Amino acid sequence: MARKVLIDSDTASDDTIAIMLSSRLFELLGVTIVAGNVEFKDQVRNALFTLEYINREDVPVYLGFDRPILGTWRTVEEVHGSNGMGGWQFKDPAKKPESEHAIDAIIRLSKEFSGEIEILAVSPLTNLALAYLRDRSIVNRIKKVWIMGGALTRGNTTPLAEFNFWVDPEAAKIVLDAGFDVTIVPWETAEDYGLIDLETWGRIRKMGTKLSNFFVNVNKTLLEYSIKQGNRGSVHPDSLTVYLAYDNSSITEQRRFKVNVELCSTSRGGMLIDWYGKDNLNSNLVLRADSNKFKDELLLTLSSF
């Protein structure tokens, strides 16, 4: 029986592939939208279009918070394209979002599938943090939280901070301190093991399937940006996180730490790891992964239709 998941997304380029993978690898109960990569209305449109395109109109989309708990942030169209989809111009989807708020949906689904549901949090953690503050007993009902977020040393937004933690560090701290069973895939792990190199890009382009064409269109700007950053292809942190959640054997090194989040000044959003501490350990940190297994699953999915 497929594991039940809810994916929390600031839907742009790689998020769409993460949604695609989660719909194939899990029983996807819904997509919740949160402020992050691009304008909120574009994120909603992107999620609806993605589900329609991959023939999963049955998966509901719930609108969450269109801003972080505190402070301001900036969107990153330079990474994902003007609309978050590599500038791909597509028709407005017929599919509509649900009227139920994402916070209410998270709490309701945690009750309906108590002890079974897992959260694939590939975005800022605003929705999950506020669901927890609304109902703290949710910790006892959610089986697992998989987080793409934080950086060990190479912040991709500031010298210290990765984007998801930087957008809403208060939310990240709330979630990490709440008592969830948490595994974090940090930026460096994604950059090292979630890379789709140019050779693999060539294979994807040659497939000519509906899904491979989708991948190429939505990730075009991401590829260009990743190469400018010195990578050998496009970096896919969200898709890697979803795959590692599915196939835990592809996590080749992880360690448990006490992880905190910095809330102040130029270090805001930085992930603080107590490398030597033995007490109050709250997160598993993925340090190494099998990139070949990840790429094989992605290629298999993209070739399916």
Q: How many residues does the chain have?
A: 305
Please name the amino acid found at residue 237.
P
Query: What is the mean pLDDT of the segment spanning 207-215?
Result: 96
Query: What is the mean pLDDT of the segment spanning 188-216?
Result: 97
Nearest to 193 by CA among 79, 298, 111, 84: 298
Give residue for tokens 């793409």. 148
The C-alpha atoms of residue 195 and residue 244 are separated, in whole angstroms, by 14
The DSSP H or E segment spanning 271 is: strand 271-274
Q: What is the predicted pLDDT for the residue at 179? A: 97
| Sequence-ordered list of residues with C-beta below 8 angstroms from that of 58, at least 6 positions apart, any chain | none
Q: What's the pTM? A: 0.97
Q: What is the pLDDT of residues 266-300, one digit of tens each?
A: 999 999 999 999 999 999 999 999 999 999 999 99
Q: Residue 106: helix, strand or coil by DSSP?
A: helix
Q: What is the predicted pLDDT for the residue at 1? A: 78
Q: What is the predicted pLDDT for the residue at 14? A: 96
Q: Supply φ then ψ for residue 73, to 5 degrees.
A: -145, 175
Tokens of 286: 């993925």
Distances from the Cα of 300 to the Cαs of 56, 203, 204, 211, 266, in angstroms? 18, 12, 10, 10, 42
Q: What is the pLDDT of residues 124-147, one digit of tens each?
A: 999 999 999 999 999 999 999 999
Percent of the chain surpassing pLDDT 90: 98
Mean pLDDT, the chain, integer: 97
List alpha helices for the chain, DSSP H.
14-25, 40-53, 77-80, 102-112, 126-134, 163-167, 169-178, 187-193, 198-207, 210-218, 220-228, 237-246, 291-302
Contact 167, 67 (CB under 8 A): no
Nearest to 156 by CA among 90, 79, 89, 224: 79
List alpha helices for 123-281, DSSP H.
126-134, 163-167, 169-178, 187-193, 198-207, 210-218, 220-228, 237-246
Rg of the chain, C-alpha, whole Å: 18
